[in-house]
Amino acid sequence: MVDILVIGEHTRGLLDSTTKELLGAAQRLDGKIGVAILTDEVLDKSAEESIALGADEVFVIQDPMLKRSAVEAHVTALEQLCNHINPNSILLGKTIVGSDLGPRLAFRLDTGMAQDCIGVSQISSSSEIVATRPVYGGNALATIAFAGNGPHVVVIRNGTYAPPGNNADNIGRVTLFKAQLDPAELKVRQLQTVEKPRTGIRLEEARAIVCGGRGLGGPEPFEQLSELATLLRGAVGASRAACDAGWIDHIYQIGLTGKTVAPDLYLAIGVSGASQHMAGCTGSKNIVAINSDAAANIFHEARFGVVGDWRKILTSFIETVRELNEQHN
């Protein structure tokens, strides 16, 4: 049986990066690691991948009712699995699926849950865990301890942990678990899936993000930001003010009410650095800011910064990156 259960997410037969990161988090805790893979299709490569990334056991729950959108069926299947294997802790990613499943699963298991965590660790010499999460818009960190017995549910932000190394020689077990699901339980019926055409790298997976704020003054500069993002092999993001102004779609919004990212490089251009914005990007390894106001909050968070008008800086910055790229190719 396993001590830590990672709730896996997968797309087109492969593990999502968030699940790989959760396996990185699980390896820092003591105990056997399990991964739950729920699918409405035949078993794909994600079980194999999980073992190569350090899972001791993969529980595959296959049922036509387990469509990605059928959250009620997922909760019931996971509740049955958890009651069967009784893990100490359950890790989910802060994705649309994980943020929805986590509280529902904790409720069903009558246990505690910590949402939006940036760390999970074990209290020494015990199986109890504590989680760390930003509070007050990212201005403080809270340490969450759990009352009572587990399993304790922890939802972890993407980008918090590095995925473990992949080792095809790892040995693990794949167990098929049959869940008892009742179609009457499904309150939501999925009629159709429409995939938004994907251009470039997903914001959550980008190692470099070029983020534009209200200081850009309009939608057109986002084309320049996109050019720079392409040169950096990254993605474009935006502050809520830029999205609210209609300059760019809200799917690019970073912050408390947008996406949470943790790239190696976060380039903030014309972004003031309000706490609600920083709540979505403080996990970035290097924040670089261009802002005309030397007193802007973003400079408190930035590792490097340029005080000035982005219009006078960005073109030569892009040219320099292009030249450096050419030198290295």
Residues of this chain that interact with ligand FAD (CB under 6 A) are 213-215, 239-242, 253-258, 270-272, 274, 276-277, 280, 290-293, 296, 309-311
Give strand pairing partners of 142.
133
Distance CA(134)–CA(111), nearest Å, equals 21
- Residue number with CB closer to ligand FAD (27 or 276): 276
Distance CA(80)–CA(78), nearest Å, equals 5
- Residue number with CB closer to ligand FAD (151 or 237): 237
Task: Write down the least CB distance from residue 280 to ligand FAD, Å.
Answer: 6
Under a CB-based contact definition with an 8 Å cutoff, are residues 85 and 2 in contact? yes
Closest CA to 212 of 271, 136, 162: 271
Task: Write down the least CB distance from residue 9 to ligand FAD, Å.
Answer: 23
224-238 burial, b at 16+ Cβ within 10 Å, e below that, comes to: bbbbbbebbebbbbb
Distance CA(205)–CA(201), nearest Å, equals 7
- Residue number with CB closer to ligand FAD (229 or 306): 306
- Residue number with CB closer to ligand FAD (2 or 296): 296
- Residue number with CB closer to ligand FAD (2 or 211): 211
Look up residue 224 and give its two tokens: 């320049």
Task: Write down the least CB distance from residue 136 to ligand FAD, Å.
Answer: 12
- Residue number with CB closer to ligand FAD (285 or 312): 312
Task: Write down the least CB distance from residue 243 to ligand FAD, Å.
Answer: 8
List Cβ neighbours of 225 (8 Å cut-off, separation of 6 or more).
210, 211, 212, 216, 236, 269
Task: Write down the least CB distance from residue 249 to ligand FAD, Å.
Answer: 14
- Which single residue is written with the structure tokens 């074990």? 122
Task: Write down the least CB distance from residue 260 to ligand FAD, Å.
Answer: 9
Interstrand relation of 10-11 and 173-176 (parallel, antiparallel or unpaired): unpaired
- Residue number with CB closer to ligand FAD (59 or 310): 310
Look up residue 137 and give its two tokens: 């818009």
Task: Write down the least CB distance from residue 42 to ligand FAD, Å.
Answer: 39
Closest CA to 291 of 268, 259, 263: 268
Task: Write down the least CB distance from residue 180 to ligand FAD, Å.
Answer: 40
Distance CA(323)–CA(78), nearest Å, equals 52
- Residue number with CB closer to ligand FAD (184 or 295): 295
Q: What single DSSP character describes residue 82?
A: H
One-character DSSP codes across 287-322 = EEEEES-TT-THHHH-SEEEES-HHHHHHHHHHHHH
